[in-house]
Homo-oligomer: A and B are copies of this chain.
Amino acid sequence: MKRLGVMTSGGDAPGMNAAIRAVTRRALSLGIEVYGINYGYAGLVAGDIFKMERSDVGDIINRGGTMLYSARYPEFAQKEGQLKGIEQLNKFGIEALVVIGGDGSYHGALRLTEHGYNAVGLPGTIDNDIPYTDYTIGFDTAVNTVVESIDKIRDTAASHERTFVIEVMGRGAGDIALWAGVAGGADEIIVPEKEFNIEKIAQNIQDLRARGKKHTIIVLAEGVMHADEFMEQLEQYGDFDARGTVLGHVQRGGSPSAKDRVLASKMGAYAVDLLNEGHGGIAIGTENNKLTYHGMLDLFDSKHKPDLSLYDINKSLAK
């Protein structure tokens, strides 16, 4: 292989830049040229593509966001869009591709592989909701961002009895809520994967207050509902003086954590090695603390499962 391309697609995740750096440096160290594709599949189709040098990725390992920008481009699902993309790949002489993004971006990668352009996917998203990988690039950083906010809320010592509801990201997954909930010492964690009963939660808060615990912290995954709706429901069972925090896109940014940088570096180098060995249509993951890969079709048939043991552990530790 003489020339590969790299792009980021879907939502931002801290560590994407570290992954781009690893792909670029690894490839260059093997004598493979690297072309960066801006704006994901949209940029591919538009030919927004440029040759990457070693120095282009110097000083990006600690930067949040992605130097290659990102976009959603549903048109790539159509053959027409794919053919336009291939036209550009040919024009730039790109033989293979590394796609860093959520598993939604893997579909286009599989299509390109089927057309003869091997593509490998790296799991880049804060939601940690990609199958066949215990962790995605960006997840650890997002959890730490949420935990820092919970820590600050914890400091609040007003004597009023208050309930704080922190709405966190995750789309349909409860991973961020579970990890941040345990690490933040939350009193309740509400996730899509677990049933919950608002009345019981209200009762629990009353019990905690009766025991002298004035502040209650509830971590709520956005996949369940939004904070204001949750607080509205809660207030039907008592006067909780509930306050909401919606961190929003703050969770998608920031300098990546050490873990995300190392994961991104390992995965990026691995992606290049796998492409160099002729693999395509595969998605890289970390399972049992080792790097692995699976055919993308297998991913599309699977559903990610969060570590629900954290839910039970927290119930026991929060009491």
Contacts and interface: CB of A to CB of B under 8 A. Distances in A.
Interface of A: 11-12, 14, 21-22, 25-26, 28-29, 39-40, 42, 54-55, 58-59, 61-66, 69-72, 134, 140, 143-145, 147, 149, 151-160, 164, 179-180, 182-185, 212-213, 243-255, 257-259, 261-262, 265-266, 269, 287-290, 309-310, 313-314, 316-319
Given A182-B265, A269-B313, A249 B25 contact: no
B253 A245 contact: no
Contacts of A184: 61-62
Contacts of A252: 152, 155-156
B258 A180 contact: yes
A265 B21 CA distance: 32
A245 B248 contact: yes
Contacts of A243: 248-249
Q: Which of A155, A252, A253 has the most chain B CB atoms closer than 10 A to its own CB?
A: A155
Given A62-B154, A145-B152, A289-B288, A319 B25 contact: yes
A184 to B, nearest CB: 7
Nearest to A26: B316
Given A26-B316, A243-B248, A261-B183, A12 B151 contact: no
Given A25-B316, A247-B247, 18 more contacts: A21-B185, A21-B317, A42-B159, A61-B183, A61-B184, A64-B155, A71-B160, A72-B158, A147-B261, A151-B254, A152-B250, A153-B249, A155-B253, A183-B261, A245-B250, A265-B314, A266-B310, A266-B313
A14 to B, nearest CB: 7
A156 B213 contact: no
B12 A155 contact: yes
Contacts of A154: 59, 62, 65, 253
A164 B249 CA distance: 9
B316 A29 contact: yes
Contacts of A29: 316-317, 319
Q: Which of A72, A156, A290, A310 has the most chain B CB atoms closer than 10 A to its own CB?
A: A156
A44 to B, nearest CB: 13
Contact of A157 (B70, B152, B159, B255): B70
